[in-house]
Structure 1
């Protein structure tokens, strides 16, 4: 889909927008615009927007979309800017529509729901519902800095997803502003509701290409009991991934994550946590069962580690000790970012193919002579291969670009996906047709065209 053309008289168009909004919501200062051109992924060739709008209400978003439809101006919705696929990359002559100031929250402990606006951080929602003895499970590594709106846009998962699922499993309803400014309410605070098409599910993971989500009703569950933690040190990622299969064939632990040598060393250099920098891989598992069941599950996972080649196994019931290892896993992206420039992947495969996937990634890394760090939500087959560039060598950058595509081709060839939770964005859009096929791509375009006939919503993302 081509990027729509902005109004031929942008100054006059912006004057029109100012009349529709509080002046403090519309920002044209060049320094501020610069900071809104890219998200964390730093997709190449970002545009320069006409303005940034910091919306506070659904009505603000409606006014922006009505104005954009009138003037054929592209709109790039943006949350906290922590995205990892380039899905919030500005378009020349467009508007970046930020939801960062939309921060209302209401918890209903009777229905076990929270009604929230998209600008709240994931961590803030967790903290607010915890005061009522409740828990919001989706748990991205960036939970302290990523917004609920961004989580909705990409259908984020995280460290708890192996047992507790991903964002879409906890979205009961939402308010969405469509391209023409119409606001629709979908779903509601009901645990069972099969009336009509499942439109709520359609918008979760749509990356701002179908509408702008301005309010979300989230399903909550009772607070999680304390966890036991098992950590295994392995000689390589293949042995580690085989231990994963041994565990997931029998149980679904509360967490099952791994890191390999490059990521372990980056975290240790950054945080000095005492991690084993000689380890080929580290596997982190947790159980949140209670009583004897938790002890039995913990021992089962420890034995699976030992059976599949772990050179060291450590188990603890101390929540603080367990949290230290969880922190190490969460820190992988930011610690690696201090080593060099990152090209971030998010490929997943059916679980039986996990050992072949990680072996294939190692082969690509060796053949292209570029370091690929690997961390994973191993329990559901979702891996994050991270290409690390430590200099500006153009030949190495080209090899990294080729490796980036080869990792996605590898996953697709195994019946996998180019994204398990980060979204397609701009960085992975060229590979989407290879995964979905012509018929599904055409159906996707038909849905997009029906909801956004001018193509003004986040052009260049996904399609």
Structure 2
């Protein structure tokens, strides 16, 4: 029971559930919620528990409703290009099933091998391919779910078009189990893309890498993926997996293009030029797919590799693409100011940054400094016109940030929707929305005033490791 009481969010509070129910059908989910409605007992839905905001954390006296055993791919229709799946289906399992029909489900979170479709829907997950192909909301056509009153309903459609009534499906996506418990998902599929071309760029600072991201957007390039991985992440993966990925660079940008033929070739060459123009110390198009896959594998392994070094508090902010260099500079300043290690991975192409704040286990002083840096990063994202969460959700960790981002009037609209679908407030209460005002202007003012006049110097202690494969074939 303890293992099902929380997700992967570092330092998000969790209690002991009253009971855990492992549902195997929509009827069982409905029965549980109906009973909770009658007795006014809160219920928290969870999938694989890979969330990073505390959205699936239990509180004492609540029912945890685990959906991981509802893991059937119900249908794949190659003519309509749709799939119908239960919420416990793993993301990679859906991809594998679709691939047998020559089809593809694009949303690609780094947790794809172990996160569930239901969890992806709960947070509107994006991932590596979202810069070109979009996020979960762009692919969900319809849902079956249980409301807070215990009713089993269907939302959305199976057709390519449909505007009958309000978009309740879109409303539920990203609501983190506070508006309903999803029991089935109908998603849009695409044709499998052709083999991709990978471009790698090495940079001496995250700010230079950020400038390359902005330059590629200004050049009109839309890669299938544009990922940033810094020296902390690559060194951690290398130490763990002995992959030989440590390189002579502070930061790596990885771009992928899946346009066929000469269009893909031309886009790759233009990206190399953008990297070089932004100050890359090395930029090249790959001709060795094995090495290209190794770099992307390192990107996916970064989070679990860093967890081996200590407690990891994961940020998830998103800023306009033009502000990526400045946001990365501010993250570095926060690391220096609070004397903590902050590693950086990012879906850089759409401005979604994941600073990873690392502290030793049991170091309470470092924990307090990390939490202060966490708050500063949120404030900086808002000050630059961004949002407090791009894809991990609000959960417990981002509730103050949500109140800073949204006006009181908009928060009231959220509460009104919540009351309509969950009148007794039993669905994942205490998550996402919290009562009471927070002065957004004050939060942003704190960020802008403390950073006035500061430069973009790189942090001390940069790691400079060898690049054994630079001389190898393909790079």
Instruction: Please name the residue that 2:293 is paired with.
Output: 323
Q: Distance in 2 between matches of 1:239 and 1:440?
A: 37
Structure 2: tracts of 5 or more residues without a match: 434-475
Cα displacement (A) at 1:390 = 2.0
Matched, 1:127 2:96: yes
Q: Where does 1:56-135 land on structure 2 (aligned, <5 Å)?
A: 56-105=24-73, 106-135=75-104
Q: Distance in 1 between matches of 2:180 and 2:363?
A: 40
Once the two structures are superposed, residues 88-117 of structure 1 have per-residue CA deviations (whole angstroms, 9 ceiling, x without a partner) of 101211110011011121100010000000
Q: Distance in 2 between matches of 1:42 and 1:214?
A: 28
Matched, 1:139 2:108: yes
TM-score (norm 1): 0.91
Matched, 1:167 2:133: no
Please tell me whether the aligned partners of residues 143 and 182 of structure 2 are also in contact (alpha carbons under 8 angstroms).
yes
Please tell me whether the aligned partners of residues 257 and 377 of structure 1 are also in contact (alpha carbons under 8 angstroms).
yes
Indicate which of 162, 181, 187 corresponds to 1:212: 181
C-alpha RMSD over aligned residues: 1.1
Instruction: Please name the residue that 1:15 is paired with.
Output: none
Please tell me whether the aligned partners of residues 10 and 312 of structure 2 are also in contact (alpha carbons under 8 angstroms).
no
Cα displacement (A) at 1:273 = 2.1
Indicate which of 159, 169, 172 corresponds to 1:203: 172
Q: Distance in 1 between matches of 2:422 and 2:267?
A: 49
Instruction: Please name the residue that 2:354 is paired with.
Output: 384
Q: Distance in 2 between matches of 1:373 and 1:71?
A: 46
Indicate which of 230, 239, 243 corresponds to 1:273: 243
Cα displacement (A) at 1:275 = 2.2
Cα displacement (A) at 1:391 = 4.1
Please tell me whether the aligned partners of residues 104 and 189 of structure 2 are also in contact (alpha carbons under 8 angstroms).
yes
**Is the alpha carbon distance of 1:411 and 1:258 closer, same or farther for their aligned partners in structure 2, counting shifts above 3 Å?**
same
Once the two structures are superposed, residues 377-410 of structure 1 have per-residue CA deviations (whole angstroms, 9 ceiling, x without a partner) of 0000000011000242222211111111111011
Once the two structures are superposed, residues 403-449 of structure 1 have per-residue CA deviations (whole angstroms, 9 ceiling, x without a partner) of 11111011011111111011111111121110112111111111111
TM-score (norm 2): 0.89
Q: Distance in 2 between matches of 1:323 and 1:261?
A: 18
Q: Distance in 2 between matches of 1:222 and 1:458?
A: 37
Matched, 1:290 2:260: yes
Instruction: Please name the residue that 2:331 is paired with.
Output: 361
Q: Where does 1:243-254 land on structure 2 (aligned, <5 Å)?
A: 243-249=212-218, 250-254=220-224
Q: Distance in 1 between matches of 2:89 and 2:11?
A: 24
Q: Where does 1:334-373 land on structure 2 (aligned, <5 Å)?
A: 334-373=304-343
SS in 2 for 1:298: helix
Q: Distance in 2 between matches of 1:276 and 1:311?
A: 15
SS in 2 for 1:85: coil
Instruction: Please name the residue that 2:449 is paired with.
Output: none
Once the two structures are superposed, residues 124-178 of structure 1 have per-residue CA deviations (whole angstroms, 9 ceiling, x without a partner) of 0000000000000000001000000000000000000000000000000010100
SS in 2 for 1:330: helix
Please tell me whether the aligned partners of residues 200 and 255 of structure 2 are also in contact (alpha carbons under 8 angstroms).
yes
SS in 2 for 1:331: helix
Q: Distance in 2 between matches of 1:263 and 1:207?
A: 29
Please tell me whether the aligned partners of residues 209 and 448 of structure 1 are also in contact (alpha carbons under 8 angstroms).
yes
Q: Distance in 1 between matches of 2:257 and 2:270?
A: 10
Please tell me whether the aligned partners of residues 360 and 366 of structure 2 are also in contact (alpha carbons under 8 angstroms).
no
Instruction: Please name the residue that 2:5 is paired with.
Output: 37
Cα displacement (A) at 1:44 = 3.6
Count of residue correspondences: 431
Q: Distance in 2 between matches of 1:40 and 1:234?
A: 31
Please tell me whether the aligned partners of residues 399 and 432 of structure 2 are also in contact (alpha carbons under 8 angstroms).
yes
Q: Distance in 1 between matches of 2:2 and 2:78?
A: 42
Q: Does 259-268 or 366-375 show the bigger shift? A: 259-268
Cα displacement (A) at 1:321 = 2.6
Q: Distance in 1 between matches of 2:104 and 2:82?
A: 10
Matched, 1:449 2:415: no
